[in-house]
Amino acid sequence: MEKAALRERLQSLTSVSNVFPTARSHVRQRRELGAVAEAVESLDYRLLDELSAADARNVLSREVAVAGSAFPVLLDLPDAQEQLAGFARAGFNFFYADPSYESDSLEIRRARGGNGAVTRVLSADGRIALETRRLVVALVADVDDEAARLFFGRNNLVPIRRFQFGAPTWHVIADGGLATDVSLQLLDLDEVRYAEPDFIEHVNQRATQPSDPLVAQQWHLEVLGLPVVWPTHAGGEVRIAVVDNGFMVGHPDLDPDAASSGWFRSSPDGDDSLFIHGLDLMPDGDHGTACAGMAAARSNDTGGVGVAFDASLSLVACLPDQVGTQSTLARALAYAAEPTTEGVAAPGADVVACSLGPNEATWKMSNVLSDAIDFIAERGRSGQGTPLFWACTNGNFPISADEVCSHPKVISVGRSTADDSDDGSGFGPELAFLAPGVDVLIPSSDGAYSVTTGTSFACPCAAGVAALIVQQNRHMSATEVRDHMLGACDKIGDVPYVDGRNDTFGHGRLNAASALGVPQ
Amino acid sequence: MTPVDDVAAVPPSLVGEIDDEPTVEPAGSEEFRASGWRFIRGDADRSGLRAVFRDRAGHLSIEGATVVVRFDDDAGDQQIDEVLRRHHLAVRRPMRFVPKGFQVVFEGRPAKGQLMRISEELEKLDCVRYADPDFVEEIGQR
């Protein structure tokens, strides 16, 4: 997120006056909180007030004047009900305190049965955030550990740990003020890439296990470890763009976003294209439908699901008869990452997948296509870079002869089988990794599902996994997402991996569970 | 890429003008013909015909109707206008993802090979980073 956008978000937070949480304890030790959660869900204000206030008075010492339960006030906040029930089940009770309580230090609050971590209860845009003294601070890339130590000292920050995300990012404690205020001050400094409070929030299990009837036949989902990932990450609030020749936009398992989708209508001679915003009259295409469905087919009790079934989906169609110019392809890719390039004010994609290209060994790249790839990888996502996945050749050729998949900013994906063999797609040092792409069951343009094979489908499979990673950590740059994926591959095949890679398997077969740090 | 001198490509919009010409079917031209292109003998003298090229791997490409020009970052608007005017080029659209990048067209119907020659001339200018003629090519699915 851009500094300006982050600053705006932090400035929009407002403190909920005189409302504080009690000390947190496991709900099994305070059975009242389970009943509080149920009262929140049923909006039984009388019972809620009674149970919550009784619990607060029971937990807090006599020095704290409890004016009553704060749940009724918090329930007035937008979209608060589900969050508050979640907080209660997680062991948080909220009470109305005497104004003097706010001036007590966290240590005194803790000693009196209050919460010794939460400084304030904040809210904005329908989210309730419990502010602590902790922040996450990312410094610019050329700051080494010693310089970081000096920086933290100067700014009254105590580092707790350095995150292993690639960029220099630390978990720190703010010694000199409220975390939100300190973050805003840090955002003004050139050394800081971003700084934001590490709020305690209720993160709902939006996605659990899909009940779509064909999921059991989609072997690739199990191989990637997705069943253990989906309970927390299914791509929510992340946007995937698929660039292809055409799509069945009305497929029952696709739910594309018209505002960010568009297509390039070829001129009669196929040597130029006119951009058309939206999904109306977009060309159909089995290949594109399959790619889009692999990445983001919905969980809706119909058909199967995509890797990131909660992700937003942008469809970008070009070269409908597979004959056209690379400048049109370049425009389509740039549009996917940044719609303003075609004059459209819509959000750009967090992840882009493209599975177009010849299957012979050689593909020469024009300068404008190379510039488009650079643009996506460097300027997408407000400067963080948008990961761009590309299907390598299906032929058993060296990828080095394909100048597009050899572009250093392209993440080149080969296909793997259900039994984790390589299946003979492109090879060489340019291969990032393999992903499932042989006999995979994915959407087709007849509105149903079909079994199909190709690197074309391994590519959006990888893009779907990238969407889950971005959902977990929105601050990762395109390079960090790629490196994270490379480091999370399973070393399949009975072959040696030198420095973590092998020319036939790349870094191995992608593993979503490993990439998201979820035990399998 | 090597020119295929004995063949010229006829754009779909001009196919109606070559009814009396015998067509040829060079190797690798199937997808182009499916898109409405036709191929005739390369020595045909008619404006609007396009040059045909083949790369080392045998892929066929057809000279397109536009050139993508990227000027040097320091090039000023006046200098860009002057260069384009001198070569009878007009801006079709700015390439917003390419700094100082424009897709340009020849004013009038270019002769066969003319956009290739103009691109080569532009590339010799200090203020031009690159000038790529657009090629119509087959870009398949994987």
pLDDT value at residue A185: 96
Residue of A nearest to B12 (CA): A269
- Concatenate the DSSP letters of all residues of A398-457 into one string: BGGGBTTTTSTTEEEEEEE-TTS--TT--BSTTEEEEEE-SSEEEE-TTSSEEEE--HHH
| Nearest residue to A167 (alpha-carbon basis) of A136, A142, A195 | A142
In a domain, B83, yes or no: yes
**How many angstroms away from the CA of B142 is the closest CA of chain A?**
5
Are B84 and B21 in a shared domain?
Answer: no
Q: Where among A111, A131, A151 does a domain terminate?
A: A131
| CATH classification at residue A138 | 3.30.70
Are A459 and A320 in a shared domain?
Answer: yes
A371 touches B at CB < 8 Å: yes
Out of A68-82, A317-331, A414-428, B36-50, which region has the weakest mean confidence (pLDDT)? Answer: B36-50
Residue A206 has pLDDT above 60, yes or no: no
Are B12 and B58 in a shared domain?
Answer: yes
Side-chain-side CA neighbours of B121 within 13 Å: the count stands at: 12
pLDDT value at residue B45: 62
Q: Using an 8 Å Cβ cutoff, are A173 and A157 in contact? A: yes
Higher pLDDT, A160 or A325: A325
What single DSSP character describes residue B90? E
| Nearest residue to A493 (alpha-carbon basis) of A400, A413, A417 | A417
State how far the Cα of A11 lies from the Cα of A91, in Å rounded to an integer: 28
Are A144 and A114 in a shared domain?
Answer: no
State how far the Cα of A129 lies from the Cα of A358, in Å rounded to an integer: 50
Are B127 and B78 in a shared domain?
Answer: yes
In a domain, A65, yes or no: yes
Residue A204 has pLDDT above 70, yes or no: no
State how far the Cα of A460 lies from the Cα of A450, in Å rounded to an integer: 16
Question: 3-state DSSP call for residue B85?
Answer: helix
User: Which residues have a Cβ under 8 Å from the Cβ of A118 and sit 6 or more positions away?
Assistant: A20, A21, A130, A131, A132, A200
Are B34 and B48 in a shared domain?
Answer: yes
A130 touches B at CB < 8 Å: no
pLDDT value at residue A328: 97
B65 touches A at CB < 8 Å: yes
| Nearest residue to A167 (alpha-carbon basis) of A188, A194, A140 | A140
Strand A134-139 relative to strand A192-197, pairing? antiparallel
Beta pairing partners, A506: A433, A502
Question: Residue B60 is inside which H or E element, if any?
Answer: strand B60-71
CB contact under 8 A, B142 and A456: yes
In a domain, B82, yes or no: yes
Q: Using an 8 Å Cβ cutoff, are A244 and A285 in contact? A: yes
CB within 8 Å of chain B, chain A residues 241-270: 244-245, 267-270
In a domain, B107, yes or no: yes
Strand B101-106 relative to strand A273-277, pairing? unpaired
Q: What is the 3-state secondary structure (H, E, C) of A387-406?
A: CEEEECCCCCCEHHHECCCC
CB contact under 8 A, A358 and B135: no
Q: Where among B47, B63, B79 does a domain terminate?
A: B63
CB contact under 8 A, B68 and A368: yes
**How many angstroms away from the CA of A390 is the closest CA of chain B?**
10
Are A123 and A181 in a shared domain?
Answer: no
B106 touches A at CB < 8 Å: no
In a domain, A427, yes or no: yes
- Positive or negative, the CA dihedral A244, A335, A460, B29 is positive
State how far the Cα of B122 lies from the Cα of B124, in Å rounded to an integer: 5
Percent of chain B scored above 90 by pLDDT?
73
Are B18 and B8 in a shared domain?
Answer: yes
Are B19 and B80 in a shared domain?
Answer: no
State how far the Cα of B67 lies from the Cα of A366, in Å rounded to an integer: 11
Q: Using an 8 Å Cβ cutoff, are B58 and B28 in contact? A: yes
Residue A166 has pLDDT above 80, yes or no: no
Chain B residues with CB-CB distance to A394 below 8 A: 142
What single DSSP character describes residue A102? G
Q: Which of B31, B68, B141 sits opposite A327 (nearest CB)?
A: B68
State how far the Cα of A313 lies from the Cα of A307, in Å rounded to an integer: 12
CA B80 to chain centre: 20
B134 touches A at CB < 8 Å: yes
CB contact under 8 A, A355 and B142: yes
Chain A residues with CB-CB distance to B96 below 8 A: 334, 340-342
Are A327 and A316 in a shared domain?
Answer: yes
CA B134 → CA A97, B64, B131, distances in Å? 71, 5, 9
Are B59 and B70 in a shared domain?
Answer: no
Chain B residues with CB-CB distance to A325 below 8 A: 64, 66, 134-137
Are A253 and A358 in a shared domain?
Answer: yes
Across the range A318-327, mean pLDDT stands at 94
Across the range A136-142, mean pLDDT stands at 86
Structure confidence at residue A33 as a pLDDT band (50, 70, 90):
confident
Structure confidence at residue A34 as a pLDDT band (50, 70, 90):
confident
User: Which residues have a Cβ under 8 Å from the Cβ of A79 and sit 6 or more positions away?
Assistant: A126, A127
Across the range B35-49, mean pLDDT stands at 83
Are B44 and B99 in a shared domain?
Answer: no
Domain range enclosing A355: 235-508
Across the range A396-404, mean pLDDT stands at 95
Are B30 and B48 in a shared domain?
Answer: yes
In a domain, A513, yes or no: no
CB contact under 8 A, B134 and A371: no
In a domain, A516, yes or no: no
In a domain, B104, yes or no: yes
Find which of A120-129, A304-313, A510-519 is predicted with most confidence, using mean pLDDT: A304-313
Residue A122 has pLDDT above 70, yes or no: yes
Burial label for A210, CB within 10 Å (0-12, 13-18, 19+), is buried
pLDDT value at residue A98: 84
State the count of interchain CB pairs (< 8 A) between A and B. 143
What single DSSP character describes residue B109? -
Across the range A253-273, mean pLDDT stands at 94
Interface test with chain B among A244, A267, A271, by most B beta carbons within 10 Å: A271
**Helical H segments across A26-105, by residue range:** 31-42, 45-59, 71-74, 80-89
Number of domains in chain A: 3
Across the range A243-262, mean pLDDT stands at 97
In a domain, B20, yes or no: yes
Residue A316 has pLDDT above 90, yes or no: yes
pLDDT value at residue A309: 97
CB within 8 Å of chain B, chain A residues 324-363: 324-327, 329-331, 334, 338, 340-342, 355-362
In a domain, A518, yes or no: no
pLDDT value at residue A143: 80
In a domain, A203, yes or no: no
| CATH classification at residue A418 | 3.40.50.200
B136 touches A at CB < 8 Å: yes
| pLDDT per residue as tens digits for the range A336-355 | 999 999 999 999 999 999 99
Are A173 and A116 in a shared domain?
Answer: no
Q: Using an 8 Å Cβ cutoff, are B39 and B52 in contact? A: yes
pLDDT value at residue A29: 61
Residue A26 has pLDDT above 60, yes or no: no
Both tokens of A253, joined, read 């398992």
Across the range B40-64, mean pLDDT stands at 85
Q: Using an 8 Å Cβ cutoff, are A469 and A476 in contact? A: yes
| pLDDT per residue as tens digits for the range A465-496 | 999 999 999 889 999 999 999 999 999 998 99
Residue of A nearest to B134 (CA): A325
| CATH classification at residue B110 | 3.30.70.80
Are A299 and A447 in a shared domain?
Answer: yes
**How many angstroms away from the CA of A367 is the closest CA of chain B?**
7
Domain range enclosing B93: 64-137
Question: Residue B120 is inside which H or E element, if any?
Answer: helix B114-123
Q: Where among A131, A161, A180 does a domain terminate?
A: A131
Out of A8-22, A86-100, A175-189, A282-296, which region has the weakest mean confidence (pLDDT)? Answer: A86-100
**How many angstroms away from the CA of A10 is the closest CA of chain B?**
31
**How many angstroms away from the CA of A478 is the closest CA of chain B?**
17
State how far the Cα of A109 lies from the Cα of A20, in Å rounded to an integer: 10
Are A11 and A78 in a shared domain?
Answer: yes
State how far the Cα of A443 lies from the Cα of A39, in Å rounded to an integer: 43
In a domain, B142, yes or no: no
- Average pLDDT of the residues of chain A: 92
Are A99 and A140 in a shared domain?
Answer: no
Both tokens of A175, joined, read 């010694």
User: Which residues have a Cβ under 8 Å from the Cβ of A164 and sit 6 or more positions away?
Assistant: none
CB contact under 8 A, B139 and A330: no
Are A34 and A164 in a shared domain?
Answer: no
Structure confidence at residue A207 as a pLDDT band (50, 70, 90):
low
B72 touches A at CB < 8 Å: no
Q: Which of A270, A358, A372 sits opposite B140 (nearest CB)?
A: A358
| pLDDT per residue as tens digits for the range A37-86 | 999 999 999 999 999 999 999 889 888 888 899 999 999 998 899 899 98
Quickly count: other Cβ atoms within 10 Å of residue A163's Cβ.
14
State how far the Cα of A265 lies from the Cα of A270, in Å rounded to an integer: 9
Are A291 and A364 in a shared domain?
Answer: yes
pLDDT value at residue A23: 86
Q: Using an 8 Å Cβ cutoff, are A411 and A486 in contact? A: no
Residue of B nearest to A455 (CA): B142
In a domain, A360, yes or no: yes
CA A294 to chain centre: 17
Are B35 and B74 in a shared domain?
Answer: no
In a domain, A188, yes or no: yes
Are B73 and B29 in a shared domain?
Answer: no
B34 touches A at CB < 8 Å: yes
Q: Using an 8 Å Cβ cutoff, are A349 and A373 in contact? A: no
Across the range A376-398, mean pLDDT stands at 96
Across the range A154-171, mean pLDDT stands at 82
pLDDT value at residue B104: 98
Number of domains in chain B: 2
ipTM: 0.93
Structure confidence at residue B113 as a pLDDT band (50, 70, 90):
confident
- Average pLDDT of the residues of chain B: 92
Q: Where among B63, B82, B105 does a domain terminate?
A: B63
CB within 8 Å of chain B, chain A residues 46-75: none
pLDDT value at residue A205: 55
**How many angstroms away from the CA of B17 is the closest CA of chain A?**
14
Are A337 and A419 in a shared domain?
Answer: yes
Chain A residues with CB-CB distance to B16 below 8 A: none
B27 touches A at CB < 8 Å: no
| Nearest residue to A484 (alpha-carbon basis) of A497, A493, A475 | A475
Q: Where among A103, A131, A159 does a domain terminate?
A: A131
| Nearest residue to A51 (alpha-carbon basis) of A33, A65, A78 | A33
State how far the Cα of A462 lies from the Cα of A296, in Å rounded to an integer: 11
pLDDT value at residue A163: 73
